[in-house]
Amino acid sequence: MGLSDGFTGCDMTVIDDKADLPMRGLPQDGMTAHAVPCAHRVGRGFMVLYGLAYTGLWMALLSPILVGLAMRVNVIDPVHADYSLSLVVGVGALTALFGNPFFGRLSDRTASRYGMRRPWLIGGALGGVAGLIVVAQAASVSQLLLGWCITQLAYNAQLAALAAILSDQIPASQRGTVSGIVSISLPLGMVSGTFLAQALVDSTLAIFMVPAVIALACAIVLACVLHDHRLVPAQRPRYGWRGFLGSFWINPLRFLDFAWVWSGRFLLYAGVAVLLTYQGFYLIHQLNCPPSEMPHRIFLSTLVQSSMLAIFSLLGGGLSDALGRRKVFVSGAALVYALALLLIAITASYAWFLAGMAIAGIAQGTYLAVDLALLNDVLPERETHAARNLGIFNIASVLPQLLMPAIAPGILAESGGSFTVLFIMAAILVALGAWTILPVRGVR
């Protein structure tokens, strides 16, 4: 089976600076020269490799948030661990907030001989390796912060390219299925990363570097089979200060459906950010878990959550495609996630905490699979600004990682260190996110 049939299933006309033939579907009369996304169905081989590239990225990026950064902060600054972790995670999220749409815009106008997305896939993975080396070797909070910012920038450049491939290569009839596969990559990356963290607990360098090398290998394999679009250098759009600022903005009144979907993702990820960032300290301070057992217990909870997430990503995405409906899945899943946070907030045992994590996995799996398909159904300016607009949408996932670590220490201080109050407030935000999906008009 050839790569063109087995992986992308597309016959893509490509042009570069040595070719005079027009690209099929290319806008004429001086319009921006971008490829129209492929309308052909993709093969299973491409789906698998695409999912693996996402899995490797999440493995390298999320395992530090779940385990690695907390361990490093406890070693470097044990007295002020809560605040130091909030600083590192929050500033890293701010870096990612600007990095994803910025690199998405650059990807949209990349006129490389290697294509528009491929250079950012490989370059981002290489930069992630460099950043995690700094994190692993950091001897101070400032060095840890520097390394994490490099890591966030690099992996968000890779993430922008990966997200654009969904719009470039996947037809509407398969977006729910492929979005489900992408959603599975999140729990697979989380479980794999936390498993490696507990297995390599005696080697700080290995905890960070093994996932980073795996992420690089997966990106290289996908880049090798990707039939990437090429942009004619002479027709690349101009890029000045206005274009730079436009990398971070879409008029919400002009694209109202996009704005509602963005708001729903933002509010859901406010809850996700609280759970991801503070579950380690929650286990230690509220459930009296010994710090030495924290990596193992987080691995178990991540395994439970991720198993449910993986199952319901496939079920939710496939069922959404079959029924032709998106909104009921996304809104309902957000409500279930809010209930999971409430259960975690009031529990007094690790067993009930695991039950809450299982429910959170069911909700998040369904939400992510269908929400990504919903987004691509309402994505504005797909032909010319797909990666940029997907990058702007990703701000909704990243901004809560900046805001919640900044807000949470104040909530904990005012509530006497009560994680119950913190998780209840997160549940309220997620429940509001369920409502924001209802006004979307362009999708059922």
**Cβ atoms of residues 400 and 272 within 8 Å:** yes
Which CATH superfamily does the domain covering 40-232+241-436 fall into? MFS general substrate transporter like domains (1.20.1250.20)
- pLDDT in the model for residue 271: 92
- How many percent of the chain have pLDDT more than 70? 82
Question: Is the confidence at residue 396, as pLDDT, over 60?
Answer: yes
pLDDT at position 107 is 77
pLDDT tens digits, one per residue of 204-252: 788 889 999 999 999 999 998 887 777 666 666 665 556 555 556 676 6
Answer yes or no: is pLDDT of 360 > 90. yes
Q: What is the 3-state secondary structure (H, E, C) of 258-318?
A: HHHHHHHHHHHHHHHHHHHHHHHHHHHHCCCCCHHHHHHHHHHHHHHHHHHHHHHHHHHHH
What is each CA distance from 38 to 131, 273, 281, in whole angstroms? 34, 34, 46
- Has residue 390 got a pLDDT over 80? no
Rounded Cα–Cα distance for residues 204 and 336 (Å): 36
The confidence score (pLDDT) of residue 287 equals 86
On average, the pLDDT of the chain sits at 78
Rounded average pLDDT over 99-103 = 78
Residue, of 23 and 249, whose pLDDT is higher: 249
Local confidence band at 334 (pLDDT 50, 70, 90 cut-offs)? very high
Structure confidence at residue 413 (pLDDT): 84
Please state, in angstroms and rounded to a whole number, the distance separating the CA atoms of residues 56 and 36: 28
Which residues lie across from 115 on neighbouring strands? 112
Is 52 a residue whose pLDDT tops 80? Answer: yes
The Cα–Cα gap between 152 and 254 comes to 31
pLDDT, mean of residues 89-105: 79
Q: Say which range, 120-129, 208-217, 402-411, 435-444, has the weakest mean pLDDT.
A: 435-444
Cα(108)–Cα(161) distance, integer angstroms: 9
Structural domain boundaries in the chain: 40-232+241-436
34, pLDDT greater than 50: no
Q: Model-level pTM?
A: 0.65
Q: Which residues pair with 112 in a beta bridge?
A: 115
Tell me: pLDDT of 374 over 50.
yes
Is residue 443 very low, low, confident or very high in pLDDT (cuts 50, 70, 90)? low
pLDDT at 132: 93
- Note the pLDDT of residue 24: 35
Whether the predicted pLDDT of 115 surpasses 70: yes
Pair of tokens at residue 356? 């809450």
